[in-house]
Every structure is written in structure tokens, then in C-alpha cells.
Amino acid sequence: MNKNSKRVLAVVAASGLVLASVALSSANAATKSVTLVYQGPLTGTDAQTGQDELLGAKTAVAIYNATNPAVTVKLITADDQGEGAVAGTVAPGIAANKAVVGVVGPAYSGASIASFPSYKSTGLTMVSPSATRVTLTDPKSADNGYPFFHRVVGNDALQGPAVVRWSTKGVTSPKVYVIDDQTPYGTGLRDAALDYIKATKVSLVGKDSVAQKTSDYSATVAKIKSAGANVVIYTGYYPDGGQLAKALDDASWKGTFAGGDGVLNDAYIGVAGKAAAEGSKFTAPAVPFEIAASDAQQAAFTKATGLKTAAGHVYVTETFNATNVFLACIKQGKTSRAGIQLCVSTGTFYGLDGKTVLKFTRFGEVVGGAPVGGFQVVNGTIKYFGAV
């Protein structure tokens, strides 16, 4: 091969490379995609909560992608089992994934605290549908996720008083016994409930602190009976709450069993049994999807999830809203982590009904707070009773 032939070949090869790269970049522009991750308990004792929330995220992404946007969104999942110890091992992998521009979650407060170091150091924005511990947005706390953590739900400072009000509603001379599960969520909600009890002079007849995964609640039941309590507020999650409610029922205790959003789950009825679960009350800064969604949104939900209705699934609306916060930013052309962070922290968004305004304070709370709903098990199903 002579020199000229080599030059010709080099020019042809270079031209080919340029053309190929132009073609590739055009193709990339046409199919640009960013990734959102849903982080929550998808397996483990609290898996039902994560599986429920994922329905809301899937629906929001499906509605968005169906509009043929310039930037499509891929939804992936990260299973932290709702436990800080697991979240601490999952979060670094998510943070290192450059394709991920936002985290819908973490779902649980303990898992949030464990995830913060990874996300804060890599500028990854979080919008949680259900982590309610007060300190997550408290600038004085070492547990805060500022400036990357946001949540679309009211915190336990709102839920604590609500769970006391709702559990004692209709009870003559309420005598309240408060039990926490020793988790960051459980102790946070307990403190908020106790503060309200003290301030309103509701009769507090006792309190206990029982670690998660306890099987035998006989001592706690004996104390509740001994104290003459007619209202028990459990600040923990449904697997343990169900066990405690069952133990109380087996001991023929008569009264109102109540819990926060950690206990609000259809699976609670399965663990406690129908008889023990009947009449149990819950609060949650949540609005059921099947109540708030339009017909078109209901249809989109069914198409995206294969389920006829969202009834019995918790935090679907809130996860839908949290996902939509990111989707609104992506729609505005924000596809980098920095762009998303600026958009989420300064933008104004709308909830499922298209009217509820979601705007975040500097530390990640919804401006003006969010309503806390009351729920109760009636004839074996959980019914919504509006804001309490």
C-alpha cells in the first residue's frame, strides 16, 4: 500500500467515524432516557409497604412515558427492606449509578438516615413518600438530609397528635398506653404523641418499649391490663403491631388499638387475625389513591399495575406525587443531578388531584404541612375517614 492509498483510507475511516458518531448522537438524542430509583422495603417483614408504594411510582412513570416525551424515564428499584443496616449497603450502589437522577424514597425513616451520607455526597435528590421522622428535616439534628431530602407527607409532629386524637375519639375517659418499637420511626412518633398527650392532659397510664421481632408480648399485655388502659397506641410497623394486637385480643383485653402509618397496611389484618384487627384505628399523612384519583388516573393505574383498584394499598398517592415531582423537572429538561436538585428544591408542583400544591421548604418539608388521615378496620377492611 503506497502513501496516497494510506491517506485515502485514513480519510475514509475518519469520515466513517464522524458519521457514525453523528448517527449515534442523533439516536441518543431521540431516545434519551434518565433513571429514577424507587427505594423502599420490597422484601422483608415490611415488604408490603414497599410493594404498595411501587404501584404509585409505576403508575406515574407509565402516564409520563405514554406522552412520548423527549426524555423517557426508566424506573428501577432498590430494596432496603426498610432497615437502616440494609439501606447502608444499598445506597452506595445507587449513588454510584450515574444514570440515576433521583430517588423516590427512601420509604422508611431509619433507612433514610442510613442512606443520607451516600446521597448527600453525590448530590442525589430524594423525595420520600412516607418517611415521617421529624429529625429528617430538622436542621439542628445530625440525622437531617438537607439539602437533598424532601418529603411529600406531613411529619410525625403532625401525626403524633393526630394518632392521639383519632384513637381517643369516641372513647369515654380515655386511658392511653403508648408502646414503641425502638426504631427511629417508632421512637419519633412516640415522642410526638407523648408531647401532645402531656399538652392536652389526656390520661397516660403507661408506656413500654418493645424491640421489633418480639414474639412474646405477655408482659406488655399484663402491664396494659394492670394499668386499666382502654386505648393502646403502638408506634411501630404492622408485623409487630399485628402480633401485639393479637396478644391483646387473646388476653381478652377490651379497648381501642391504634397505630400510625407504620401499622396501616392490609397485611396487619393478616398478622393480627380478623377478630383482633376489627376496630383498630390508624393515622397516616396519606390519601387513598382510589378516592383522590380521576377516572383516567384509575385506568392508568390498572394498566400500569394490572390491579383493578388501589384499595388496600398504602401510600400509592404519595408515591405517585413524589415521582411526579421528579417527572415535572425532567419535563422541564432537567436531566442532571444538579438540575434536578435545583428544580425540586425551588419548584412548585401539584398532587394527584391537580390542585394540591407541593412546594418544599428549605429543609424539605411541604410548605403548609400535609393533612393526616384517619383509618379504621371495619368488617375486615381498612376504611378511610378523612382528615383527623
Listed in sequence order, the residues at least 6 apart from 80 whose beta carbon sits closer than 8 Å to its beta carbon are 39, 40, 41, 86, 87, 90, 91, 106, 107, 108, 111, 114, 115
Residue 277 or 325 having the CB closest to another protein: 277
Residue 307 near residue 289, CB atoms below 8 Å: no
* Least distance to another protein, CB of residue 258, Å: 19
* Least distance to another protein, CB of residue 43, Å: 4
* Least distance to another protein, CB of residue 53, Å: 16
* Least distance to another protein, CB of residue 17, Å: 47
User: Which positions touch another protein (CB under 8 A)?
Assistant: 43-45, 47, 81, 182, 206, 208-211, 213-216, 218-223, 225-227, 239, 243, 246, 250-252, 269-271, 273-274
Q: Given 3-state DSSP classes, what are the helix, strand and coil percentages for the chain, each rounded to the nearest 5? A: 45, 20, 35
Residue 362 near residue 144, CB atoms below 8 Å: no
* Least distance to another protein, CB of residue 310, Å: 21
Residue 254 or 355 having the CB closest to another protein: 254
Residue 212 or 309 having the CB closest to another protein: 212
Alpha helices (H) along 201-294: 218-227, 238-250, 266-272, 274-277, 289-292
Residue 81 or 297 having the CB closest to another protein: 81
Residue 129 or 186 having the CB closest to another protein: 186
Listed in sequence order, the residues at least 6 apart from 39 whose beta carbon sits closer than 8 Å to its beta carbon are 77, 78, 80, 87, 90, 91, 94, 103, 104, 105, 106, 107, 111, 115
Answer whether the bond into residue 147 is a cis peptide, omega within 30°: yes
* Least distance to another protein, CB of residue 51, Å: 10
Residue 45 or 132 having the CB closest to another protein: 45
